[in-house]
C-alpha cells in the first residue's frame, strides 16, 4: 500500500502562532482516519492544508504524489483529488441541489450539461436525495444540505474525502443520516480523513484514530483500542467531555 497523503515535517504558522508543529503523517489508500483533539489543536488546519485552503509554512505535503507547494495549477489538481465537506455545508444558494452537484463536473471536469446532470442525479440518489434535485438549499434540512454537499464533493471524482466536523452543525436526529452516507463511502473503500466528535462513528467506521494536541499528533492508533483505553490522561480527559 502506498501513501496517498504524505505530511513531511509540516509546520503551519498564523503569524506568530504555531498551529501545526513538524507533523509527519502518511495516510494510505482506503484508510478512514478520524481526527480528534481539543479546540484549537489544529485539526481543521491540518485538513485544510491537504487541499491547499491553507498554505503550509515549512516542510512538504504530497497528495497523490503532488506537492501543495507546486503552484496554482497543481493545487487545482490536488483539489480534484481531495474533496472537502464543511461544517457549515456551504452549498451555493443560488443553485438547486442538482446544479450544486453538476456545477463542478461541468466547470472542473468539463463534462457536458446532460452528462453532468445525469451523473449528478445518480449521486443525489446515492445520498438518498433523488427526489430533492430541484430544491434550493434553503428548502432543505441541514442533514439534507450536508448530503448534497457530500454529493457535490464526490462529483469531482476525488480519491480522498476530507470532512471537517460534518455533523457538528446538525440537530442530533439529523446526524445519523449523514453518518450513514459516510459509512457507505467508507465501505466503498474511499480514503477519508474525518474531524468529528462522533466516537461511535470513529469506532465503527474508522480504521485509524489520531488525537491532536498543540499542533502535534499525540496519539495515532486503532480507534477501538484507544477509545476504550486512552493511552494518556489528556486524551482520557478529552474523551470524557465529548
Partner 1 sequence: MNIDWSIVIGFLPALLNGAKITLYITVTGLIGGIALGAVIGLMRAYGGYILNTLAFIYVEIIRGTPIVVQVMFLYFALPVLVDIRIDPMTTAILAIVINAGAYVAEIVRGAVLSISKGLTEAGRAIGLPRWKVVVYIVGPLAFRRLIPPLGNQCIVSLKDTSLFIVIGVGELTRTGQEIMAANFRAVEIWTAVAVFYLIMTGTLSLLLRIIEKRMRIL
Ligand X SMILES: Nc1ncnc2c1ncn2[C@@H]1O[C@H](COP(=O)(O)OP(=O)(O)OP(=O)(O)O)[C@@H](O)[C@H]1O
Footprint on this chain of partner 1 (rule: CB under 8 A)? 51, 53, 72, 76-77, 79-80, 83-84, 86, 88, 90-94, 103-104, 107-108, 136, 138, 149, 152-153, 155-156
Residue 23: CA count within 13 A, CB half-sphere: 38
Of 64 and 211, which CB lies nearer to Mg ion in the complex structure? 211
User: Do residues 211 and 238 lie in contact, with contact meaning Cβ atoms separated by under 8 Å?
Assistant: yes
- For the bound state, the minimum distance from the C-beta of residue 156 to partner 1, rounded and expressed in Å, comes to 5
Query: Of ligand X, Mg ion, partner 1, none, which one sits near residue 80, judging by CB under 5 to 8 A according to partner kind?
Result: partner 1
User: Restricting to residues 53-82, which ones interact with ligand X according to CB under 6 A?
Assistant: none
Question: Could you say which residues in the range 157-196 bind ligand X, by CB under 6 A?
Answer: none
Least distance CB 180 / Mg ion (angstroms): 23
The listed partner (ligand X, partner 1, Mg ion, none) that binds 240, CB under 5 to 8 Å by sort, is none
Q: Is 42 a binder of ligand X (CB under 6 A)? A: yes
Residues 41-60 that bind Mg ion (CB under 5 A): 44
Q: What is the DSSP letter of 71?
A: -
N-to-C CA span, the chain? 33
CB of 165 to Mg ion, least distance (A): 6
H or E segment to which residue 74 belongs: helix 72-81
Rounded CA-CA distance 218/213 in Å is: 6
Distances (CA, A) of 10 to 5, 22, 64, 156, 221: 12, 5, 16, 27, 20
Q: How far is CA 237 from the centre of its chain?
A: 25
What number of other Cβ atoms are within 10 A of residue 69's Cβ? 15
What is the C-alpha separation between 34 and 84, in angstroms, rounded? 15
Q: Minimal distance in Å, beta carbon 56 to partner 1?
A: 16
Contact between 40 and ligand X (CB under 6 A)?
Answer: yes
Interaction between residue 84 and ligand X (CB under 6 A):
no
Q: Tell me: does residue 45 bind ligand X (CB under 6 A).
A: yes
In angstroms, rounded to a whole number, what is the distance separating the alpha carbons of residues 7 and 60?
6
What are 179's three cell numbers?
453518518
- In this structure, the strands spanning 191-195 and 160-164 are parallel
Between 16 and 200, CB nearer to ligand X: 16
From the list partner 1, Mg ion, ligand X, none, partner contacted by residue 153 (C-beta under 5 to 8 A by kind): partner 1
Return the range that interacts with Mg ion (CB under 5 A); candidates 37-45, 71-79, 130-138, 222-230: 37-45
Residues near ligand X, by CB under 6 A: 14, 17, 19, 37, 39-45
Amino acid at each position: 500500500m502506498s501513501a496517498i497523503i504524505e505530511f513531511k515535517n509540516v509546520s503551519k504558522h498564523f503569524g506568530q502562532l504555531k498551529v501545526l508543529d513538524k507533523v509527519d503523517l502518511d495516510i494510505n489508500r482506503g484508510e478512514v482516519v478520524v481526527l480528534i483533539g481539543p479546540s484549537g489543536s489544529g485539526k481543521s488546519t491540518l485538513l485544510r492544508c491537504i487541499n491547499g485552503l491553507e498554505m503550509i509554512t515549512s516542510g512538504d505535503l504530497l497528495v497523490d504524489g503532488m506537492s501543495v507547494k507546486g503552484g496554482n495549477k497543481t493545487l487545482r489538481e490536488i483539489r480534484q483529488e481531495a474533496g472537502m465537506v464543511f461544517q457549515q455545508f456551504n452549498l451555493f444558494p443560488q443553485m438547486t441541489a442538482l446544479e450544486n452537484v453538476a456545477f463542478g463536473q461541468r466547470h472542473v471536469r468539463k463534462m457536458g450539461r446532460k452528462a453532468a446532470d445525469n451523473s449528478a442525479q445518480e449521486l443525489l440518489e446515492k445520498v438518498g436525495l433523488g427526489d430533492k434535485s430541484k430544491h434550493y438549499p434553503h428548502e432543505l434540512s441541514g442533514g439534507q444540505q450536508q448530503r448534497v454537499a457530500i454529493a457535490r464533493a464526490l462529483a469531482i471524482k476525488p480519491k480522498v474525502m476530507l470532512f471537517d466536523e460534518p455533523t457538528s452543525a446538525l440537530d442530533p436526529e439529523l446526524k445519523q443520516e449523514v453518518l450513514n452516507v459516510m459509512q457507505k463511502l467508507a465501505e466503498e473503500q474511499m480514503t477519508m480523513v474525518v474531524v468529528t466528535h462522533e466516537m461511535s462513528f470513529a469506532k465503527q467506521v474508522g480504521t485509524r484514530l489520531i488525537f491532536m494536541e498543540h499542533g502535534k499528533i499525540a496519539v495515532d492508533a486503532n480507534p477501538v483500542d484507544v477509545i476504550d483505553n486512552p493511552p494518556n490522561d489528556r486524551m482520557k480527559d478529552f474523551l470524557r467531555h465529548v
